[in-house]
Structure 1
Amino acid sequence: MTAAYRTQVVGAALLDDARRPTAFLAAQRTYPEELRGLWEFPGGKQEPHESCEQALVRECAEELGVDVELLTEVPGPHAQGWPLKDTAAMRVWTAVASCGEPLPVVGEDHLAVRWLPLDDPAAALALPWIPADLPIVHALLDHLAR
């Protein structure tokens, strides 16, 4: 039996189009100081009263100011997704902004947001990612290439 992580984190690989995506969104962390300036998938912690999917929809609304439609999960190596540290793991879904939504906004959680082209994976991989998110970037690129 695989041990459970105490903290469940959720992240969105927000795509520019559900049928023929050409880019995904990355967000640059504001805090904590040791992660400031590094890139990540937008998202956050699941609250006890919500599912992972509900948490991700809520986090995208709070952080980016957009309502999202979740598409498919990017499977991780653990039942709870991608291990981040000894106590936390993150599940990641591809998603798109609901019809008519504005472009994502930069809120207090991020210094910047950037669309990364899928036809240039090297550009996405060249960003200084939070170390725990980098394997997820590789998996996302493989997931979308299929």
Structure 2
Amino acid sequence: MIVVATALLRADWVLAQQRAYPPEDAGGWEFPGGRVEPGETEPVAVRRECREELAVEVLPGERIGPAVALRAGLVLHLWTARLADPAAEPVATEHLGVRWVRAPELGELGWLATDRRFLPTLREHLDG
């Protein structure tokens, strides 16, 4: 089963969200996303998850970085996306908060281990 994560980009910024739960992950930073539901494509899941978690519409871009193995046969893929309305502001509907960061600031956040694996590729993408 595939899980998507979204590197939501605005110029040279990327959005991070801070987990509220479960307790062992609370306070950790991650990219928005979730499981691809039956019948969905990965880009459709990216749009749905960003709508649910951030209350914004996005335009999925490309898949970047490695496939990251998770527990119980789940595999995590990172997708780029941009806001459909560039003036829209994401809202933390299920998380403690959201924050826009630039490539040099990525290392300042306490990323969850799975999302941390995407940082080298994302830095290259933001700097490129």
Aligned to 1:61: 51
Tell whether 2:65 aligns with 1:75.
Answer: yes
The structure number with the bigger radius of gyration is 1
Whether contact under 8 Å (2:47, 2:58) holds in the other structure is yes
Structure 2: any 5+ residue segments left out of the alignment? none
Q: 1:28 aligns with which of 10, 18, 26?
A: 18
CA-atom RMSD in angstroms? 1.4
TM-score, normalised relative to structure 2:
0.92
CA distance in 1, matches of 2:37, 2:87: 25
Partner of 2:100: 115
Counterparts of 1:62 and 1:49 in 2: how far apart (Å)? 18
**Structure 2 CA distance, aligned partners of 1:33 and 1:127?**
18
Equivalent residue for 1:8? Answer: 2
Residue deviations 1:69-110 (CA, integer Å, cap 9, x gap): 11221131xxxx222335211111111110255200011x21
SS in 1 for 2:60: strand
Aligned residues: 128
Find the aligned partners of 2:115 and 2:77 in 1 and give their Cα distance. Answer: 11
Which segments of 5 or more consecutive residues in structure 1 lack a partner in the other structure?
1-6
Partner Cα distance (2:115, 2:86) in 1: 29
Q: Give the helix-richer structure, 1 or 2.
A: 2
User: Normalization by structure 1: what TM-score?
Assistant: 0.81
Aligned-residue identity in percent = 38
Counterparts of 2:80 and 2:117, CA distance in 1? 15
Structure 1 stretch displaced more, 33-42 or 88-97: 88-97
Aligned to 2:114, the other structure's residue is in SS state coil
Q: Distance in 2 between matches of 1:140 and 1:116?
A: 12
